[in-house]
C-alpha cells in the first residue's frame, strides 16, 4: 500500500478535474481511499514518470518531457514529485 502524504492528497483533490469530468472525491480521506484503490503511484522526478509509462507499456514514443507531463493522469505535486493516476 502506498502512503500518500497531505501534499499529494491535496494536489489530487484540487486538480482531479484534469482527469475526470466531475469530482470523484470531496476531501482528503476520500482522495486517499481513491488513490489507494486505483493503485496510483508517486514518483520523484520526470525521468521516473517516463520510466513508469514505459514499464506500463504506455506509448510515449516521440513525446518530449513537457508532453508527457501534460498527460491527464500526471499530477505535478509541486515539490518535484509527480502523482500518476490510472484513469
pLDDT in tens, 24-56: 999 999 999 999 999 999 999 999 999 999 999
Task: Return d(Cα 68, Cα 71) in angstroms, integer.
Answer: 5
The structure's pTM equals 0.92
| Domain-wise residue ranges, the chain | 6-84
Percent of the chain whose predicted confidence (pLDDT) is above 70: 97
pLDDT at 1 over 50: no
State phi, psi for 75 to the nearest 5 degrees: -115, 125
Please answer whether residues 87 and 21 qualify as being in contact, where contact means their C-beta atoms are separated by less than 8 angstroms.
no
pLDDT value of residue 3? 80
Task: Return d(Cα 73, Cα 71) in angstroms, integer.
Answer: 5
50-54: long-range pairs with CB below 8 Å, 24+: 52/84
Q: Residue 62: left if φ>0, alpha if ψ -120 to 50, beta else—which one?
A: left
Amino acid at each position: 500500500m502506498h502512503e500518500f502524504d497531505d501534499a499529494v492528497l491535496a494536489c489530487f483533490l484540487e486538480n482531479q478535474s484534469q482527469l475526470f469530468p466531475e469530482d470523484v472525491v470531496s476531501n482528503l480521506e476520500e482522495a486517499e481511499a481513491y488513490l489507494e484503490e486505483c493503485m496510483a503511484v508517486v514518483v520523484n522526478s520526470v525521468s521516473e514518470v517516463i520510466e513508469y509509462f514505459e514499464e506500463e507499456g504506455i506509448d510515449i514514443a516521440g513525446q518530449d518531457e513537457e508532453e508527457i507531463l501534460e498527460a491527464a493522469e500526471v499530477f505535478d505535486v509541486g515539490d518535484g514529485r509527480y502523482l500518476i493516476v490510472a484513469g
